[in-house]
Structure 1
Amino acid sequence: MRDIAALTHLCPPPQDSPRPVDWAGVEAVLGVRLPEDYKRLATVYGPGVFSGYIHVYHPRGHTEFADLTGPVPGRLRAQLQRDYDQGTHPVPYDPRDLLAVGGTDNGEHLFWITDPRDAPDAWRIAVNEARGPRWFTFDGTLTAFLTSVLSGETAVPAFPKDLLEQARGFTPSLPVLSPPPDTRPRPPVASDTVRRWARANGYDVPDRGRVAAGIREAWERANPA
């Protein structure tokens, strides 16, 4: 509780209380229990960004890039696993023990080190460099990490040196409004055009006959009107 109090002093949360989170449902989706400090953090602040730089993933993130239960954590873990297996870039932890919990405007990622898996309140924080091999480890919770960094007590080498020169604060994320769907009819496209595109992109298509619906849909996604 001390860390969340210190963080709210540094970065006051929104006046409007965020909607409650179904934590049991979130943990069921992720297949793991989450740290209590993170639940308090997400409940107090909701989706948003700290000091205009550090984005913390939230179960109700307004885009897939900020959604804790969205596809990004899985994609990052898969990418790290490839690097780990192939030796492409040094990964200091088993990627299976890393769960992405945030990112920055510069492209760094924040991870929980989920070891021990059944003791989430003991998880530490790891930060990887956006365009380099360096990693930084913080021996504490996510809330303690944010408090320590934004108070100037901890300096993450990959973060901008002038980070604390910016106004400290928290900015809630706003829902992303999707444009209305385009209901205009799409002009027909010759099957030969789709076939040429499909072959160039590795699809096996016959020389004649009907192009499979899945291939035509893939062509439409790759060639929006």
Structure 2
Amino acid sequence: MAGITALTQLCPPPGQAMNSHWQAVEASLGMSLPQDYKQLADRYGPGVFNDYVHVYHPQGMTEFVNLTGPMPGRIRAQLRKDDEQGTHPVPYDPETLFACAGTDNGEYLFWITDPAADPDHWRIAVNEARGPGWFTYDGTLTAFLTAVLGGQAQVPLFPAGLVEPSARFAPARPVLREPAPLAGSRPVDTRSIRSWARAHGYAVPPRGRIPLGVRDAWERRKPTE
């Protein structure tokens, strides 16, 4: 609780706390989430810190900032491609990186999900937008935000004036139109994914959202499978 207390003292949250039904969220992702993140998401809701850092949220207003939407999987796929093709070096196994936030400049913040069974000890990695640089913070997402917004930690990839004049949070506003799909995105037959997953030993629910880990595995399958 110390982490969320320090952040709320530095950057007062808006309005009343919300409940994101974390059991269902974690089931849809196929993994447990850090306790500090769940406190942060419930206390602040969807929105942006200092007009720059957008923390992904289970109730994000668009797919581009929704924790349970397609963005974490797409970003991981791009990291995997960069790593395999040598486009940009990736200092961690892409399979251990889960995007949890993005910035207005195009950087992504990741949980380093190692050890997988201990999410409260996941560290934070940030990659450079359109470049090879990386920054690692040895602490939780909430601690990272508190340190960066409070001026105790500097991320070389972020703009110098990020902490001026003070830490602030702006709630997200409802989106009145659907965002255009990302290039290359296409509808998929979820029945085919479920059938493939069961044939390869994955546990999938008969209906509802397919866990992200299963979707990732299906997208990486060989064309002959």
* TM bracket, shorter-chain basis: 0.7 to 0.9
TM-score of the aligned structures, taking structure 2 as reference length: 0.77
In structure 1, distance between residues paired with 2:84 and 2:167:
39
1:15, distance to aligned residue in structure 2 (A): 1.7
- Aligned equivalent of 1:111: 110
Q: Equivalent residues in 2 for 1:112-151 (5 A)?
A: 112-151=111-150
In structure 1, distance between residues paired with 2:167 and 2:145:
11
- Where does structure 1 differ by over 3 angstroms across 4 or more consecutive aligned residues? none
Q: 8 Å contact 1:51–1:166 — kept in the other structure?
A: no
Give the counterpart letter for 1:100 in structure 2: A
Q: 8 Å contact 1:54–1:105 — kept in the other structure?
A: yes
In structure 2, distance between residues paired with 1:71 and 1:64:
7
Q: Equivalent residues in 2 for 1:1-225 (5 A)?
A: 1-18=1-18, 20-178=19-177
1:5, distance to aligned residue in structure 2 (A): 1.0
Gaps of 5+ in 2: 179-225
Aligned-pair Cα RMSD in Å: 1.1
In structure 2, distance between residues paired with 1:175 and 1:121:
31
In structure 1, distance between residues paired with 2:107 and 2:67:
16
Q: 8 Å contact 1:97–1:113 — kept in the other structure?
A: yes
Q: 8 Å contact 2:16–2:43 — kept in the other structure?
A: no
Give the counterpart letter for 1:14 in structure 2: P
1:87, distance to aligned residue in structure 2 (A): 1.2
- 3-state SS in 2 of match to 1:6: helix
1:178, distance to aligned residue in structure 2 (A): 2.6
Residues 167-203 of structure 1, C-alpha deviation per residue, up to 9 Å, x if partnerless? Answer: 4211000111138xxxxxxxxxxxxxxxxxxxxxxxx
Count of residues in Structure 1 that have an aligned counterpart in Structure 2: 178
Gaps of 5+ in 1: 180-225
- Structure with higher Rg: it is 1
